[in-house]
Amino acid sequence: MQALYAQLLVGLINGSFYALLSLGLAVIFGMLNIINFAHGALYMMGAFCAYFLLHLTGMGYWWALIIAPIAVGVFGMILERTMLQWLTGLDHLYGLLLTFGIALIVQGVFQNYFGSSGLPYAIPDYPQIGDCSPSAPQDAFCRRGLQGGINLGFMFLPVYRGWVVIFSLVVCLATWFLIEKTRLGAYLRAATENPTLVRAFGINVPRMITLTYGLGVGLAALAGVLSAPINQVRPLMGADLIIVVFAVVVIGGMGSIMGSIITGFALGVIEGLTKYFYPEASNTVVFVLMVLVLLVKPTGLTGRAA
C-alpha cells in the first residue's frame, strides 16, 4: 500500500510537467489556432538555455528560471513574426507541418553540436540555509538549496521534485487566471473569436497574438528548465515527450486551459500507476486512454463543440 502512495506522488510530479507543457500548447491552440509541434523543441531549448547560462555565464538555476523562458519566448515571437503569422486563416494542417519542420531543424542543429547523450545539469545547491560549512558539527542543520530529500515514511521524496509540483501548480493556475479572469485575457479571447471587431476597438491584434505565442513558448521553456536537473539535457528530450503531451491536450479538449491542466496531472498519475502494475504498457497507456476518450466524447473531456 505504501508503494502505491509513492507511485501516486511520483505520478503527480510527472503530471506537473505534462500540465505545464500541455498548458502552453492549449494556450497557443486556443488563441492562435496553431497546432504547435515545435513545442518539444522549445522545451528542449529551455533546458539548454539553463545549461548555457550556468556554464558560460555562471548564472545558476534561479536565474535560469527567469531568463530562459524570456529568451526562448523572444525566439518564439521571432518565429511567429517571420513565419507563423503568414498562416493565419489557413487550415490547421499548415501550422502543424510548419512547426513540425521547425522542430526537426532545431533538434537537428542541437544534435549536430551536442550529440545525443546529453549534458549534465545538477540540482541547485543554493541558497544554503543553516550552517553548511565543512567545519560545521555533524548534527548542525544544513539545507543545501533543493538537494537531498525528505523521508515521508512511505517514500523518500526528493525536495526538488516537491518543488517542481508546487511551482508548476502555481504557474498553471496563474496562467489560467490571466486568460480566463483578467481584462487582458478577455481581449485575447475576443480577438480569437472576432479579430476584425476587436481591431475596431483600437486593439493591436497581431501584437497580442505574437505575445500570446511568446507566452506559450515561455511556458515550454520553463518546463525545460524545471526538467534539466532531473533528466539529462538532451536534444531529443522534447521529441520523446511531445507526443504524450499532445495526447494530453487532445484528451483534455483542444484549447481548453483548465482541461489541459487537470488532464496533465491526471495522466501523470495514471501513467505512474501503470508503471507500477504493468510497466511494459506505460508508454502506451496514454494513447489507449486517448482513443477511449475520443470514442466517447470527440471534443475531449472539457472541450466545447466547435
Chain residues in the site for another protein (CB under 8 A): 2-3, 6-7, 10-11, 13-14, 111-120, 122-123, 148-149, 155-156, 158, 160-161, 229-232, 234, 236-237, 240-241, 272, 275-276, 279-280, 282-283
CA atoms within 13 A on the CB side of 306: 8
Q: Alpha helix locations (H) across 182-204?
A: 183-193, 195-200
CB of 184 to another protein, least distance (A): 35
Identify which of residues 7 and 260 has a Cβ nearer to another protein in the complex: 7
CB atoms closer than 10 angstroms to residue 130: 11
Q: Which is nearer to another protein, 282 or 299 (CB)?
A: 282
CB of 289 to another protein, least distance (A): 16
Which is closer to another protein, CB of 144 or CB of 297? 144
Nearer to another protein, 11 or 300 (CB): 11
**CB closer to another protein, 85 vs 232:** 232
Considering the complex, state which of residue 51 and residue 75 has its C-beta at the smaller distance from another protein.
Answer: 51
C-alpha grid cell, residue 285: 497507456
- Cα–Cα separations (whole angstroms), residue 20 to 4, 170, 187, 193, 223: 24, 10, 23, 25, 6
Q: Least CB distance from residue 304 to another protein, whole Å?
A: 32
Min separation Cβ 287 and another protein, Å = 12
60 three-class SS: coil
Q: Which residue has the cell 479579430?
A: 195
Taking the complex as a whole, the smallest distance from the CB of residue 71 to another protein amounts, in Å, to 23
Cβ 282 to another protein, closest distance in Å?
6
For the four alpha carbons of 84, 202, 215 and 168, in that order, the dihedral sign comes to negative
User: CA-CA distance, 53 to 45, in Å (whole number)?
Assistant: 12
* Residue 119: how many other CB atoms lie within 10 Å: 17
